[in-house]
Amino acid sequence: MNEFLNLLKQPWPWYVAGPLIGLIVPLLLIIGKKSFGISSSLRHICAACLPAKIPFFQYEWKKEAWNLFFVGGIFLGGILAATILASPEPIQVHPALQAELAQYGITQYDSQVPAQLFNWENLLTWKGFIMIVVGGFMIGFGTRYAGGCTSGHAIMGISTLQWPSLVATCCFMLGGIIMANYILPLILSL
Amino acid sequence: MCINESQLVHPWWYNFKYLFVGILFGIILVKSELVSWFRMQEMFRFQTFHMYGTLGSAVAVGMLSVWLIKKFRIKTIYGEEIEIHPKKFNKGHIYGGLLFGFGWAMAGACPGPLFALIGTGATVIIVALLSAIAGTWVYGLLRDKLPH
């Protein structure tokens, strides 16, 4: 039993994690005919908290409450993974990325996000503000404009052979590649 | 407009099923480091196979499952027919997709990981989540003026 727990505490390889994520698609369909997706939860939160007579937020969000339970579960899963299932080792990062990040003074790898960038003090610097606040805004605006996120389009959409989802996924990747390679270095240099 | 296709009405506590699926998903996201800013950077720089392998195998398993559900006409546990509604393409898939890609590489997270990261103790991500909610709200406000 202890050995099993130790195994679970290690970072999980892609060939374990990927198929498990794939199985969430039929699981949600079979337990209640739900489409796998996360970003709609952000819309339901808007509809529940601040609909402001905007037509896009005028719908019965309570019928979609399952999605809010789902993301609440993701939050709890994060707590469990970081406590009873926490990895004993820091994150293994590719040497080329380590060398690149070292130029910007990022040298700590003990949490999932670089603690030297993502912290409350940094929120008041240009670098931190752009990455956390502007980045977050683009996630929310972009996913809704695209009609879904990585789970809704890249996994659920492509699994059900929807070509608009394939287009959206290619655009997600293209945007990420442009940002990470050409724009982020400028932001990190601020 | 609505995402929920089930016609059945259940008491609210039936939603706890989804809480448990969420917990499972959250654990997988963190343990596979799919919530890690470092892994996203490696992916967009083509330095590691990890993210491609995870997303690729997830899609393969998802696709096979949906095919099996269709082939054997598997029903929900409440006996409802499972049907998949096709998505209609609009220009938002391109413009919104690119914008989300920018945010994904900056904050190093998609919407699911935002919730998981807060759970792991990266509390400043609460601000990123609130900002994402604000982004969704502004989209709702401007929706009619944006090209679709």
A residues 155-174 closer than 8 Å to B (CB): 155-165, 167-174
3-state secondary structure of B75: strand
Asked if B126 is an interface residue toward chain A (Cβ–Cβ < 8 A), one would say no
Q: Nearest residue of B to residue A45 by CA position?
A: B133
CB B23 within 8 A of CB B116: no
Q: Where are the beta strands (DSSP E) in B22-109?
A: none
Q: What distance in Å separates the CA atoms of residue A118 and residue A114, rounded to the nearest whole number? A: 6
CB A118 within 8 A of CB A131: yes
CB A45 within 8 A of CB A68: yes
CB B59 within 8 A of CB A22: yes
State whether the Cα torsion B65-A70-A173-A161 is positive or negative.
positive
Q: Nearest residue of A to residue B77 by CA position?
A: A31
Question: What does the CA dihedral A134, B50, A76, A110 come to, rounded to 10 degrees?
Answer: -80
Q: Give the residue ranges of chain A where pLDDT is below 70.
A: none
Across B87-101, average pLDDT: 96
pLDDT band (50, 70, 90) for residue B4? low
pLDDT band (50, 70, 90) for residue B77? very high
Chain B environment of A120 (Cβ under 8 Å): 123-124
Q: What is the pTM of this model?
A: 0.95
pLDDT at B9: 83
Of B39, B53, B58, the CB nearest to A22: B58
Q: Cα–Cα–Cα angle for A155, A73, A119, nearest 5°?
A: 90
Region of residue A166 (phi > 0: left; psi between -120 and 50: alpha; otherwise: beta): alpha
pLDDT at B81 over 50: yes
CB pairs under 8 A between A and B: 515
Residues of A15-36 as b/e, b for ≥16 C-beta within 10 angstroms? eebbbbbbbbbbbbbbbbbbbb
pLDDT band (50, 70, 90) for residue B8? confident
Record the tokens describing residue B131, joined without a space: 């900002």
pLDDT at B2 over 50: no
Task: Give the count of beta carbons closer than 10 Å to the beta carbon of residue A189.
Answer: 9
Q: What distance in Å separates the CA atoms of residue A118 and residue B117, rounded to the nearest whole number? A: 11
Decide which of A135 and B3 is more confident.
A135
Q: Indicate the angle between helix axes B50-71 and B37-44, nearest 10 degrees.
A: 90
CB A187 within 8 A of CB B91: no
Of A21, A132, A137, the CB nearest to B28: A21
Cβ within 8 Å, pair A74-B105: no
What are the angstrom distances between the C-alpha of A8 and each of A38, A88, A131, B28?
25, 11, 32, 10
SS3 content of chain A, % helix, strand, coil (to 5): 70, 0, 30
Of A31, A80, A136, the CB nearest to B131: A136
pLDDT at A59: 94
Q: What distance in Å separates the CA atoms of residue A43 and residue A141, rounded to the nearest whole number? A: 10
Distance to chain B for A60, nearest Cα, Å: 9
Cβ within 8 Å, pair B110-A150: yes
Cβ within 8 Å, pair B110-A11: no
pLDDT in tens, B95-147: 999 999 999 999 999 999 999 999 999 999 999 999 999 999 999 999 999 99
pLDDT at B83: 87
Record the tokens describing residue A39, joined without a space: 């970003």
pLDDT at B3 over 70: no
pLDDT in tens, B13-62: 899 999 999 999 999 999 999 999 999 999 999 999 999 999 999 999 99
Q: Residue A121 has what DSSP assignment?
A: G
* ipTM at complex level: 0.96
Cβ within 8 Å, pair B25-A74: yes
CB A63 within 8 A of CB A173: no
Of A26, A157, A176, the CB nearest to B44: A176
What are the angstrom distances between the C-alpha of B88 and each of A42, A148, A157, A162, A175?
21, 12, 11, 9, 22
Distance to chain B for A103, nearest Cα, Å: 15
pLDDT at B100: 97
What lies within 8 Å, CB to CB, of A95 at 6+ separation is none
CB B88 within 8 A of CB A164: yes
pLDDT band (50, 70, 90) for residue B5? low
B residues 127-146 closer than 8 Å to A (CB): 127-141, 143, 146
